Structure 1
Amino acid sequence: MFDKKTVSIEWGGKTLTLETGQVARQADGAVIATLGETVVLCAVTAARSVKEGQDFFPLTVHYQEKFFASGRIPGGFFKRERGATEKETLVSRLIDRPIRPLFPEAFLNEINVICHVLSYDGENEPDVLAMVAASAALTISGVPFMGPIGAARVGYKDGEYQLNPTDEQVAAGNLDLVVAATQDAVMMVESEAKELSEDVMLGAVVFAHDASRKVIDGIIQLAEQAAKEPWELSAQIDRGEAKAKLKSLIGADLAAAYKLTDKQQRQNAVNEARTKARDAFADLKAENPAEYLATLKLVKKLEAEIVRTAILKDGRRIDGRDTKTVRPIEATVGFLPRTHGSALFTRGETQSICTTTLGTKDSEQMIDGLNGLSYQHFMLHYNFPPYSVGEVGRFGAPGRREVGHGKLAWRALHPVLPTKDEFPYTIRVVSDITESNGSSSMATVCGGSLSLMDAGVPLKRPVSGIAMGLILEGKDFAVISDILGDEDHLGDMDFKVAGTSEGITSLQMDIKIPGITEEIMKTALAQAHEGRAHILGEMAKALGETRGELSAHAPRIETLQIDKSKIREVIGTGGKVIREIVAETGAKVDIDDEGLIKISSSDLSQIEAAKNWILGIVEEPEVGKIYTGKVVNMVDFGAFVNFMGGKDGLVHISEIRSDRVEKVADVLSEGQPVKVKVLGIDDRGKVRLSMRVVDQETGAELEDTRPPREERPRGERGDRGPRGDRGDRGPRRDGSDRGGRGGDRGPRRDRGDRPERSEGGEAPTFAPAFLSRDDD
């Protein structure tokens, strides 16, 4: 029934299997890719015609992780997969970026590339596998796709590259890099690194490209068995005459416009030239709308020729710079008065307000994914409002571009952050782009680094970022530093590098042509190194290192490690104790299963109060030590005092003051703060306290002037005379015989063990047995 075709290859010590013909047979191309027990289905469909008036390429890539793939049910109220998560959005972009340049310019049919993760083994990541499945599905679909592409993930540890490492290997290593490439050239790079050199990063890209070629060979084998007939493209219409007419009409206007260094003036001049072209071809619009739109697209080609020629031939860029100069930089920290950390970073006509907010563990982001619940303590959010480019537009939830740019900046800063043990805060950085003319994501990296240092986050080193561009014509090329928006649109590459003075922390590359060579990448990395160093120097003028203390408005967090056996005592029955600590001190208290306690508040006195309370619960009282407590109960023979947060002890009435106290209530009242000294602790843990030996004002210990009990004068008792013979005491009043002491008195009542008398002949004084406050 099924005409199933399968290809398997050995890839990085594992078997990669590509199969088609059994599932999703009505799609133009459908491939199931399997690596280990991770399985991804990709289905491709394309419209057979172009909508009237359409002048763009509507490619949509959608990647979705099915929770059943890892044997889980989605959390939350809705028990089904809903809108795309951040990871799904990022992987969708990861697939889109390398395949988009490989469609012919004249092909404008709508295409859907839909990838579903059907099984996940927790070891082999599905994102790279989805890229492979998408490439294979497009290759066999028959649509005009100039692929295939291969993809690979690379790790790096102990001087060796790792192909398709697991999450654990990535976490333990120094690199997480994903590359997509054709047989001859690299198409896309996405990475996070722990301050690696340019040579190591370039070696990783080359290593990934070699691994990708094996995947491409497997896809070609599958296509030889299962590829559909290729679509026939309509013949290219020769528009040389229309282009020549446009050039004579507005060529000089465009050339003059692209010599204006101010962005707004330049855009106004370019728009005037475009309006002139539209007016000149107004008759064509009525006769043939499709041809009219195609003709107007030639205006962009004229713009590209003018800009690219000036850079390649004259080395002169739109704003008058050479190929290596970075635009003027101005950085300010402490820009906002109430934020925990803030920076205003301006580079030319690109500007970002970056803020850092510090929070407690409660503020961590919970992520529900294929690996289960996880928590993220560092977040970076990037916002790109329309006013940043002087436009009117929709203002709403962040789109794919904003999510992607934010994640790029996140990857650049994440490697230099302290660990949670070193800095137990949740960190959120927000970048609001207020002006944009090229590389706002790299402005986010620079501004984010400054705002983190302004907030007192102990970064390993400051991080800067720069965007590189490329103009390639045949064998001639020019790499340009710190590209403008127009240079990005009209150029061939967007190559972004971020890092510290010690190495690269993030590398991202997108291209608009069918790949670039190792030589171009090496040149771009070297030139980016110079640019990053210059930007770091400019940033240091504002703030060169992390501030020594946190903002006055930031919460303070103090950690305390207790024995795991004491966790129940700190929490209390149903959380009673910990809730009482929070309510009375005002501090936040978090405790984990290992006994690590985090106490947070913007008021240090609240932290100290909560800390002392907890220490009082977990520590044992020390005999001879003085503590501060409060009276919690009064009885005839003394007062119970709560001290160390969770301990109660008895102050006997004789230990309240040095002089005689007739009634406890005459001296003390419930809730009264007192200072007490621990006199002793019996075998049952009952604590005897004294107030009279402590100065209640200063807490200093006083000299005990009372003599020991056996030395105290008792007064003259005189001669009491003979006591007589107790043996014959006469009859009782009721007439019964008393009997002599030496006679048979019968069994005695059991009175328990009676303590021995002291050497002075006097029985010791007993503190009455008492219960704790909870038992009272």
Structure 2
Amino acid sequence: MKYEVKVDLKNRSEEYSFTEVAKQANGSAWLKSGDTVILATVVIDETEIVKDDFLPLTVQYIEKTYAAGKIPGGFFKRETKPSDFETLTSRIVDRSLRPLFPKGFGYPTQITIMTFSVDKESDLQVLALNAASAALFVSNIDINTSVSAVRAAKIDGELVLNPTLSELNRSTLDLYLSGTKDDLLMIEMRSMGGERVDSSLVLDPLMDPTFSAPIITTHVSNAIGEDELIAIFEKTEQLLFESNAKYEEAFKAFKKETMEIEYKAHLLNEEMVKYVRENHFADIKSAMNQMAKSERSTALRSIRKKIILEQEDWNEAELKDAIENVKKEQVRAQILNERVRADGRALNEIRPISISTNVLPRAHSSCLFTRGQTQALVVLTMGGPKDAQMFENLTDNGTQNENFMVHYNFPGFSVGEASPIMGTKRRELGHGNLAKRALEPIVNLDGQTVRIVSEILESNGSSSMATVCGGYMALRAADIETSDVIAGIAMGMVSEGNKYAILSDIMGLEDHDGDMDFKVTGSKEGITAMQMDIKLGGISLNVLKEALYQAKEGRAHIIDIMVEAEKNIEFNDGVLPSTDFFHIDPSFIGEIIGQAGKTIREIIEKFEVAIDIDKKEGKVKVTGKSKGGVKSARDYIEGIINAPKVAKIEYKVGDKHKGIVKKIVDFGAFIELPDGTDGLMHISKISDQRVEKVSDVLKEGEEINVEILEFKGNKISLGRCH
């Protein structure tokens, strides 16, 4: 392969070939970084132009398992539907490149990114965007701007830019930025949970030298503060700008001659705009007060029908655009000039919130979270290690288990649309992933599996943030310990020239007509996850900092409401599984397990629990279907440990002792000897006469006289003596 360009970057270099492969595409780029090889292609359909105001762009990121020397698992030995990682990577590339296309570009466009070889230290999401941007830059489409990505990590308190995957796995921060040499376009961020020593639980060995319990650690969220995050943005953004300048300088020699493209003419009928503004402004302002999308659409449709009756020769499609334009003007002007939003709220005001927990009596836990006209029913189910979702990324050495899942569903009826419920869409997967990133740092499941499902029942903005809030409440309604209280809020912005307004808790109207969609999740102290898309080409860090602090204020308000709602939680005790963790002296483990596992099996069957014991450290985990069963099992185990000890007896053949009938079986009876040792009395040794049924002669709990007949390995054979 002939590589025509090499770009040296922070901690990494990239080599590109633009003339060797995929020559039928409008643009292609073969990228090699380390041992990773990616091909990105861009193709447009020149024979079709979409008529409405929509960019028909499709991005597909595809991983080939042969890239890592693997054969696909499962029944079908070829790649089938995209993995979650592939879908999320496609979304990242789409959101980063979509702003580059000129207004009026209406040709269906396909960007395909294929991973052919993989270096297990490579950041495939960064390389995928860089390759796609390179293919788009050198294509014959009139796009002359490079977009690239930078990832930042925080390892042992130090900022690391463009980390390897091994470094990222040790990081407490995962920050992904994309942008051009002038503007920041997109942010994806999450904090990673960790552990800290709880010093209040570590005893001083000088005070109690006999104490040997392990040091206790506490799970922490590693939420990051706003000021620290802005400082990291400054360093990361600067590297992003420098990298794009290098790309554009290196790629411009390979840019194809720009093709002639017919752009969609989307011209407003100014006569209609003026008429609507002068004669129906009040009607449109009133329609904006219809907060539900369906109600607002109905009101605007009524205005349009009314005007058509007044102006019978007008084109209804053009009139619809004119009304939409006046509506957008009204929404933005009212926010910028009057500092009042369409629903009458102040810029930083949060809509009314109501929270009901455990509304589903047979679910392990549930929460109905309502904020304004957005409502999420969030349901949590607990399971064991076997319930985890198995998956394997291309860079993994083997299969992994995902034991914390957040699934988000957005049916059409939530926005008043008559649409069928089909498979999971990219947007649903992305919103669920955002909520997972927000909540995962605050839970330490220690082997449990938790699945959270958010059913959006009504949506007027920010349903993903309702999922975060409802998800936290569902965790608490399941009595799952969390290291912090987490809420989410969606921020927006409207700007004209030097004037701008930042909006808290945006509704659908403000998302549609605004300039920014900025979702922030975290505690009162810091941020656990965030996602930002800029519609106007960039944002200054000063404005971003202001938005972050306004979001912090909004989160604190929501958290106060959530904390108050926690006080009213009533657990579904009849169906809620329970788990208990405690420590025992490892020397007692043999007694808890019992001879051939007899004792521990009895505990499991009697109390309907599962028991895991760490034989080295003495950690005991008891899981069951009810709190009562788990508590009883723990009490039983502690009873074994605390029971008075009986000295072991050295038994000999011919010794006679009193024993207790512990269990009757078809072939005889198990007898407990004075020191707790069990022996077997065969049915033939119970009586001098033939015994047909053991239970006719012996009763469980009965005390009898026995004689040691013989030893068979570790087993004692007994006979009855009178």
**Fold-level match, TM-score > 0.5?**
yes
- Range with bigger deviation, 596-605 or 150-159: 596-605
Tell me if structure 2 keeps the 8 A contact 1:469–1:480: yes
Go from structure 1 to structure 2 and tell me whether the alpha carbon gap of 1:502 and 1:239 turns closer, same or farther (over 3 Å shift): closer
Q: CA deviation at 1:544?
A: 5.9
Q: Which has the larger radius of gyration?
A: 1
Using the TM superposition, give the Cα deviation of residue 608 of structure 1 relative to its aligned residue in structure 2, in angstroms.
6.5
Partner of residue 72, structure 1:
70
Cα distance, 1:388–1:120 mapped onto 2, change above 3 Å: same
1:56-84 alpha-carbon deviations (Å, 9 max, x no partner): 21000111111111111111111111111
Conservation of the 8 A alpha-carbon contact between 1:16 and 1:35:
yes
Q: Is the 8 A contact 1:633 1:640 kept in 2?
A: no
Q: Output the CA distance in 2 between the equivalents of 1:238 and 1:431.
A: 38
* 1:123/1:629 CA distance change after superposition, 3 Å: farther
8 Å CA contact 1:351, 1:435 repeated in 2? yes
Q: Report deviation, 1:394.
A: 2.3
Partner residue of 2:272? 245
The gaps in structure 1 that reach 5 residues or longer are 286-291, 677-689, 694-764
Output the CA distance in 1 between the equivalents of 2:710 and 2:347. 91
Alpha-carbon contact 1:634-1:664 (below 8 Å) kept: no
* 2:712 paired residue number: 770
Q: 2:370, 2:95 → 1: CA distance?
A: 28
CA contact (8 A) 1:468 1:495 kept: yes
Using a 3 Å threshold, how does the CA distance of structure 1 residues 579 and 543 change in structure 2: closer, same or farther? closer
Determine the C-alpha separation between the residues in 1 that align with 2:65 and 2:488. Answer: 36
Q: Does 1:353 align with 2:383?
A: no
Does 1:228 find its partner at 2:256? yes
Q: Secondary structure at 1:269's aligned position in 2?
A: helix
Count matched residues: 664
Instruction: Specify the alignment match of 2:198 in structure 1.
Output: none
Which residue among 630, 639, 649 is the counterpart of 2:663?
Answer: 630
8 Å contact kept, 1:154–1:164:
yes
2:247 matches 1:219: yes
Matched, 1:510 2:540: no
- Kindly indicate whether residue 223 of structure 2 is the aligned counterpart of residue 195 of structure 1: yes
Q: Tell me, yes or no, if the aligned pair for 1:11 and 1:214 is still in contact at 8 Å.
A: no
Q: Assess if the C-alpha contact under 8 Å between 2:276 and 2:326 holds in 1.
A: no
Work out whether residues 106 and 263 of structure 2, in 8 Å CA contact, stay in contact via their aligned partners in 1: no
Q: Distance in 2 between matches of 1:275 and 1:378?
A: 51
Q: What secondary structure is seen at the aligned counterpart in 2 of 1:63?
A: strand
Q: Which residue of structure 2 lines up, in the alignment, with residue 209 of structure 1?
A: 237
- Displacement of 1:522 in angstroms is 1.2
- Deviation, structure 1 residue 39: 2.1
Equivalent in the alignment of 2:140: 142
Distance 1:296 1:17 in 2: 50
Distance 1:129 1:56, change over 3 A: same
Which residue of the other structure, out of 346, 361, 369, is the alignment partner of 1:322? 346
Are 1:450 and 1:462, in contact at CA under 8 Å, matched by a contact in 2? no
User: 2-side partners of 1:649 and 1:448: how far apart?
Assistant: 54
Do the aligned partners of residues 342 and 609 (structure 1) sit closer, same or farther apart at CA in structure 2, a change above 3 Å counting? closer
Distance in 1 (CA, whole Å) between partners of 2:511 and 2:695 is: 78
Shift of 1:316: 1.8
**1:356-755 to 2 correspondences below 5 Å:** 356-370=380-394, 371=396, 372-417=398-443, 419-421=444-446, 424-543=447-566, 551-557=573-579, 587=609, 600-603=623-626, 605=629, 623-624=647-648, 629-632=662-665, 640-641=670-671, 648-650=678-680, 669=695, 674=700
Distance 2:23 2:129 in 1: 20
**How much has 1:597 moved relative to structure 2?**
8.0
Given the superposition, is the C-alpha separation of residues 230 and 463 from structure 1 closer, same or farther in structure 2, using an over 3 Å criterion? same
Q: Give me the whole-angstrom Cα distance separating, in 2, the residues matched to 1:442 and 1:368.
A: 28
Return the alpha-carbon distance in structure 1 between the equivalents of residues 297 and 259 of structure 2. Answer: 39
8 Å contact kept, 1:335–1:343: yes
Quote the offset at 1:52 in angstroms: 6.3
Contact 2:358–2:572 under 8 Å retained in 1: no
Q: Deviations over 1:185-220 (max 9, x none)?
A: 110001112310011222222222222224313321
- Whichever residue aligns with residue 245 of structure 1, its letter is M
Amino acid at match of 1:769: F
Question: How many angstroms does 1:270 deviate by?
Answer: 1.6
Cα distance in 2 for partners of 1:692, 1:560 equals: 40
1:298-318 CA deviation, whole Å, 9 max, x = no partner?
543332222111111221211
TM-score (norm 2): 0.81
Per-residue CA deviations over 1:365-396 (Å, capped at 9, x if unaligned) read: 11133113110010011111111111211212
Q: Which residue of 2 aligns with 1:269?
A: 299
- Supply the RMSD in Å over aligned alpha carbons: 4.2
Which secondary structure does the structure 1 equivalent of 2:509 belong to? helix
Structure 1 residue matching 2:399: 3-state secondary structure: strand
Partner residue of 2:214?
A: none
Q: How many Å apart are 1:158 and its aligned residue? A: 3.4
Q: Which residue in the other structure is 2:654 paired with? A: none
CA contact (8 A) 1:453 1:545 kept: no
C-alpha separation in 2, matches of 1:409 and 1:356: 14
**CA shift digits 1:345-384 (9 cap, x unpaired):** 1111111111111111121111133113110010011111
Q: TM-score, normalised by structure 1?
A: 0.76
SS in 1 for 2:223: strand
Aligned to 2:361: 337
* Distance in structure 1 (CA, Å) of the matches to 2:32 and 2:646: 65
User: Which whole-Å CA distance do the structure 1 matches of 2:698 and 2:158 have between them?
Assistant: 68
SS in 1 for 2:418: coil
SS of aligned partner of 1:472: strand
Task: Name the CA distance, whole Å, in 2 between partners of 1:692 and 1:281.
Answer: 110
Give the distance between the partners of 1:310 and 1:80, measured in 2 at CA: 56
Which is worse superposed, 19-28 or 577-586? 577-586
**Secondary structure at 1:263 match in 2:** coil
Can you list the C-alpha shifts for 1:408-430, whole angstroms capped at 9, x where unaligned? 1111111111x233xx3211111
1:530 maps to amino acid: E
Identity of aligned residues (%): 35
Instruction: Please say if 1:29 is aligned against 2:27.
Output: yes
**Structure 1 residues 576 and 15, CA gap change in structure 2 (3 angstroms):** farther
Counterpart secondary structure, 2:491: strand
Q: Is the 8 A contact 1:185 1:515 kept in 2?
A: yes
Q: Look up the SS of the partner of 1:121 in the other structure.
A: coil
Give the superposition deviation at 1:492.
0.8
Q: Distance in 2 between matches of 1:204 and 1:78?
A: 45
Match of 1:62 among 57, 60, 63: 60
CA 1:510 to 1:364, structure 2 compared with 1: closer, same or farther past 3 Å? same
Equivalent-residue separation in structure 2 for 1:383 and 1:258 (angstroms): 32
Q: What stretches of structure 2 of length at least 5 have no aligned partner? A: 192-221, 650-658
Alignment of 1:279-294 (within 5 A): none
CA–CA distance in structure 1, aligned partners of residues 468 and 696 of structure 2: 58
Within 2, Cα distance between the matches of 1:664 and 1:773? 24
